[in-house]
Amino acid sequence: MAEIGQKTLLDSGWLAARSTDVQLTGTQLTTTYPPTSPTSPWMEAVVPGTVLATLVENKVVGDPFYGLENETILDIADSGREYYTFWFFTKFQCKLSGAQHLDLNFRAINYSAEVYLNGHKRVLPKGMFRRHSLEVTDILNPDGSNLLAVLVHPPDHPGSIPPVGGQGGDHEIGKDVATQYVEGWDWIAPVRDRNTGIWDEVSISVTGPVKIIDPHLVSSFFDRYTRVYLHATTELENRSSWVAECSLNIQVTTELEGSVSLMEHLKTQHVSIPPRARIQYTFPQLFFYKPNLWWPNGMGKQSLYNVSITVDVKGHGESDSWGQLFGFRKIESHIDSATGGRLFKVNGQPIFIRGGNWILSDCLLRLSKERYKTDIKFHADMNLNMIRCWGGGLAERPEFYHYCDVYGLLVWQEFWITGDVDGRGVPVSNPNGPLDHDLFMLCAKDTVKLLRNHPSLALWVGGNEQVPPADINTALKNDLKLHPFFESQSENITSVEGLSTAYKDPSQYLDGTRVYIQGSMWDGFANGKGGFTDGPYEIQNPEDPFKDNFYKYGFNPEVGSVGIPVAATIRATMPREGWQIPLFKKLPNGYTEEVPNPIWQYHKYLPYSKPGKVHDQIELYGTPEDLDDFCLKAQLVNYIQYRALLEGWTSRMWSKYTGVLIWKTQNPWTGLRGQFYDHLLDQTAGFFGCRCAAEPIHVQLNLATYFIEVVNTTAEELSNVAIEASVWDLEGACPYYKVFDKLSLPPKKVVSISEMKYPKSKNPKPVFFLLLKLYHVSNYSIVSRNFYWLHVSGGDYKLLEPYRNKRIPLKITSKTFIKGSSYEVEMKVLNKSKKPDPKTLTYKNNFAVRNDDSDFDMTSLKPIPDTRTDLKQPTGLFQRLYRQFSRESDGLRVAEINGSDGGVAFFLNFSVHGAKLEHEEGEDSRILPVHYSDNYFSLVPGEEMSIKISFKVPPGVSPRVTLRGWNYHHGVHTVL
């Protein structure tokens, strides 16, 4: 028998077939003639997913992510909508008893569907971003075996792709409430089925006579966050024909350690619900004294409480239950008078936004918790604190938001409006948005209800580079207006009782807790007035972001650059003709034009030169010889580009800027531009340049002024610290060394320390390295470390080419902890070159422990193989992880690289592979994804670095860790 409150996912065992190939009706499919196996025309289906995902999985069409195979797939504009209209079929077991009821739930379908269950038909109306819940109690088969068929129709206006491509094709897709990127953009090719399919989870859920629907949780704060109230409102539906006498319970617990929880609150209320009625019930508010607050990444802990609501019906016991992880936090924002940018506050503390733009994780909508976890943790690893869900993509899923809650990423969520598809472009698109405005608002309200309880959700935005049509915009402003608790004058309210009784409880609002902004370039973003003032999106001179004229406005929602992945990704995603690197065409004006091969051009390659503005940044290292050489040099540029972008913005924190969002962090396709990691989940060096620049406390070199600066984005003053600055040449000598001590760094400030005297001194080396370390004087523990490779003004990096032949001795020590398929590896790398005088003070690189309980700064941790749990000592997530790892590998493994040269071990990077050392050409041996505490790092003579690496291995695979570098071409392999 089914269990009350149980949700069962229907995510396996699906079959699919093109509707024109099936000569049976939905009634026949779910009664007398069900398909029994994946025999033609039926095939195994990807659910959740799309029609195209199913066709790719079954190799009916080519892989649109590989080479030019997307061009071989029939576009819906040429095939007609019927070609991508598909049946999906599955079976499920469910047998009810007594007063039990069953709902069949579709969390999203694109674009409309007919549902048949055991011969009975239900119609799911249009709209990609709405939930459908069908009560099917009366049409279940008595024996518990049920047949389900769903006929899914594509969007009504799939549009066509003009020969020149463009942003959103011919823009017809904008007439529907659906994703708008699917006709192609400057970062993706067209998606042939326009994302048709059952693209989000399908489930069945069992209740008793009364069902809980869309509870809303809100917290309000008084007396400087010492007094906090939890407000909760829920809808309750009585499905019976009699008055339901209910006990309604709300419970709040917090996890102490492992499976041990502390009960914070338990309150029971009596509610009577008339027959067949749906009511709204608001709980009496729950009081908390100094609860643990939820903070964004880099500001503190992401404290989460488990809130559960249950309803018991007299005579029937428990009828339904609902649960949510909830964070106590207050997010505010206003237009800053000093900068004109929108300034965000979390729990009263201003937060300097350094984040990224996000489309979606996979353009075939093969969405999974595992991938979401990796995606969001990658953003936390990069020290980012906000993700913008761009309006041409998705209203992201609860699993995405769950991991943003866990890892502390604030989310800017846009609705489905983009300027390119809603009012401009060639041809000019429909200025009035989707044809059905009521449908848009229905989807918008349902999306708000789906996502509003997540603490990470920071703001709603009407659209990308466009305001929604006037009636939609007005409706959104009204529906999402702030409750007085969350307006700027709320500081004057001293208690809940002090608020006028004319105001509703805040949990009775649709939202009311976070601001609505009408568009991504309005009201404190870009120029604030909708002018086209985001960007640029191309290669930059590294010093330019530090200059006053680089960007005029206080908050840039989109600025981007290059993003070619490593050579292994090119080989894994393209045939041999795609391994050809761009031609470097010399122009009369002295600049270089890159001419990419057709496959790179199709995958939206963005050049590393901007003739007339930026000299080719790869060519600064010498003309690349082959794919490996090109991609390695590109990683050097990626690192510099994104570090400079973020450091340039951070250098003007609060004086000129309140935030910046990089366009973009990743690609939902195998694109070759604007990304910190590729679609295979391998990081570019830009990932680690970003990670460095976005540290909460960061030492940096202003590339425009050559002043050393320290950025403290935290709320705490940092005292008794010092900066060690050392310059290293290509011979391993240290021509400049200076310590700036007795420093105090005030909170939320950028402090200019001193101008670098090198290379203004006599006879500077044409290429040199600069190492900056901010450390505590008391114990030499490192707070921030930053390594630069630099050339004199007007120079280049070509002297690094012969430096590749240096044989610099290294010692690599590894220690491994294993639990099942999960590996945690600590790699210590020592540059054994003799240290010249003066000796550096901090060569061991013992990193200071971060106090925000973040789990991505693994350099601060020591492995703990002990499996015991000590509840008296609260520990961070990774410390708990280490305690769970039951098997420690046999001792330390040591590898050494002998060499007689001295100097910097330059641009070292780890990767993880299957243990087979020899692979066929083009074969991808990498194990992905992998989380690194740092990568693409360099070590000066005598310096040691500890790198933590975590990953999971596929069944039957033995992993090996490989270390390569600028002057370590063949790599050092450590089998674990």
Residue-wise pLDDT for 475-485, tens only, equals 999 999 999 98
- The active-site residue, picked from 201, 399, 465, 826, is 465
Q: What is the pLDDT of residue 514?
A: 96
Q: Are residues 185 and 217 in the same domain?
A: no
Q: 546 and 631 share a domain?
A: yes
**Would residue 737 count as lying in a domain?**
yes
Compute the distance between CA of residue 950 and CA of residue 817 in angstroms, rounded to an integer: 10
Residues 745 and 747: their CA atoms lie apart, in Å, by 7
**β-strands 353-358, 659-663: how paired?**
parallel
Structure tokens at 851: 């106090």
Axis-axis angle for helices 369-381, 398-407 (nearest 10): 30
CATH code for the domain of 318: 2.60.40.10
Least confidently predicted of 209-223, 304-318, 487-501, 577-591: 487-501
Residue 622 lies in a domain: yes
CA distance 112 to 432: 22
Residue linked to tokens 């965000």: 344
Q: Which amino acid appears at position 780 of this protein?
A: Y
Q: Is pLDDT of 852 > 70?
A: no
Stretch among 444-453, 628-637, 798-807, 860-869 having the lowest mean pLDDT:
860-869
The yes-or-no verdict on residue 6 having pLDDT over 70 is yes
3-state secondary structure 643-672: HHHHHHHHHCECCCECEEEEECCECCCCCC
Among 379, 271, 380, 389, CA closest to 320: 271
| 795 and 826 belong to one structural domain | no
Report if residue 182 sits inside a domain.
yes
Q: Where are the alpha helices (DSSP H) in 806-916?
A: 877-884
155 and 58 co-located in one domain: yes
Calpha distance 267→307 (Å, rounded): 12
Verify that 514 and 458 share a domain, yes or no.
Answer: yes
* 85 shares a domain with 162: yes
Q: What is the mean pLDDT of residues 84-93?
A: 98
Asked whether residue 69 is domain-assigned, the answer is yes
Residue 402 has pLDDT above 60, yes or no: yes
Is the four-CA dihedral 192, 196, 200, 203 of positive or negative sign? negative
Dist CA 807 CA 632 (whole Å)? 19
Output the CA–CA distances (angstroms, integers) from residue 419 to 466, 468, 530, 889, in the order listed: 5, 9, 10, 56
The verdict on residue 729 lying in a domain is yes
State the total domains in the chain.
5
Residue 666 belongs to domain with CATH number = 3.20.20.80
- Do 644 and 527 belong to one domain? yes
Q: What is the pLDDT of residue 4?
A: 82
pLDDT of residue 287: 95
335 found inside a domain:
yes
- 4: exposed, middle or buried (Cβ count in 10 Å: 0-12, 13-18, 19+): buried
Q: Residue 925 is part of which domain span? A: 808-843+884-973
Q: Is the pLDDT of residue 502 over 60?
A: no
Stretch 917-925: mean pLDDT: 70
Measured distance between the N- and C-terminal CA atoms of the chain, rounded to whole angstroms: 47
Q: How many CB atoms lie within 10 A of CB 1?
A: 11
What is the number of residues in the chain?
A: 976
* Average pLDDT for 120-130: 97
Q: What is the pLDDT of residue 409?
A: 98
User: What are residue 743's DSSP bridge partners?
Assistant: 721
* CB within 8 Å of 572: residues ≥ 6 apart: 680, 922, 924
Q: Residue 842's pLDDT is what?
A: 79
- Using the predicted structure, report yes or no on whether residue 869 has a pLDDT greater than 90: no
Q: What is the mean pLDDT of residues 171-188?
A: 96
Do the strands 120-124 and 86-93 form a parallel or antiparallel pair, or are they unpaired? unpaired
Residue burial 42-71, b: 16+ Cβ < 10 Å; e: rest: bbebbbbbbbbbbbbbeeebbbbbbbbebe
Give the pLDDT score at 493. Answer: 59
Q: Find the mean pLDDT for residues 815-822.
A: 94
pLDDT over 80 at 214, yes or no: yes
The H-or-E segment that residue 91 falls in is: strand 86-93
pLDDT category at 841 given cuts 50, 70, 90 is confident
Residues 701 and 653 in one domain: no
Residues 781 and 829 in one domain: no
More confident residue, 340 or 973: 340
Does the active-site annotation cover 558?
Answer: yes
Domain membership of residue 495 (yes or no) is no
> CA-to-CA distance for 759 and 761, rounded, in angstroms?
5
- Listed in sequence order, the residues at least 6 apart from 615 whose beta carbon sits closer than 8 Å to its beta carbon are 590, 591, 592, 609
Average pLDDT across the chain, whole number = 92
CATH number at residue 170: 2.60.120.260
Active-site residue identified among 237, 396, 414, 558 = 558
Decide if pLDDT at 862 tops 90. Answer: no
Read off the pLDDT of each residue in 792-800 and give the average, rounded to a whole number. Answer: 96
The mean per-residue pLDDT over the stretch 952-961 comes to 93
State the pTM of this model: 0.94
d(CA 198, CA 183): 19
Could you tell me which residues are beta bridge partners of residue 667? Answer: none
Q: Name 85's Cβ contacts closer than 8 Å, sequence gap at least 6.
A: 18, 19, 20, 151, 152, 153, 154, 196
658-685 pLDDT, tens per residue?
999 999 999 999 999 999 999 999 999 9
CB 335 within 8 Å of CB 523: yes
DSSP 8-state assignment for residue 890: S
| Residue 734 counted as domain residue | yes
- Report the C-alpha gap between 728 and 905 in whole angstroms: 11
Closest-CA residue to 816 (of 808, 826, 807, 806)? 826
Q: How much is the pLDDT for 835?
A: 78
Distance (Å, whole) CA 791 – CA 492: 55
**Do 10 and 92 contact (CB within 8 A), yes or no?**
yes
Cβ-based neighbour number of residue 681 at 10 Å: 17
Question: Which of 145, 170, 205 is at the close of a domain?
Answer: 205
Q: In terms of domains, do 610 and 678 share one?
A: yes
Q: Are residues 351 and 466 in the same domain?
A: yes
Residue 411 has pLDDT above 70, yes or no: yes
- 399 classed as catalytic: no
Give me 226's structure tokens.
């010492």
Q: Are residues 727 and 773 in the same domain?
A: yes
Dihedral angle over CA of 376, 380, 381, 384, nearest 10: 120
Report the range of poorest mean pLDDT among 24-28, 431-435, 919-923. Answer: 919-923
